[in-house]
Amino acid sequence: MIRNKLVRCDSHWMDERLPDYYLDAKGEDLLASHEQCRQQVSDQKAEAAREKAANDAKAVLDKKKSYRHDFKVAAFTVILTLFLEHIPEIVNLIKAAVKAIGLFR
């Protein structure tokens, strides 16, 4: 015999008064099936929440890696650009250093 039960309604618990009744075998099977279905839905929601949390954590790590990669590419690009812009001065500097040492006379 089921008399009353606590039911979650929105954000608070409320006491739901049920009339007195008896369950026969068919009703018990139906109630068990309903409880099993509720448990499956609850498990699916918990799994979805775990997957979302894992995906969010992975997204944060991917974003950090992306920032690092962008910084490295930008630094390399700046260094390469400066090297290419000033290659004549670099060549003249190397020639002057070689003459100063006296390797080529």
| Verdict on whether the full-model pTM lies above 0.75 | no
| Chain segment 58-77, per-residue pLDDT in tens | 999 999 999 999 999 999 99
Query: Would you say residue 55 has pLDDT above 70?
Result: yes
Q: Which CA distances in Å does 23 have to 1, 8, 17, 29, 88?
A: 7, 23, 17, 9, 95
Instruction: Specify whether the CB–CB gap between 30 and 23 falls below 8 A.
Output: no
* One-letter amino acid for residue 11 of the chain: S
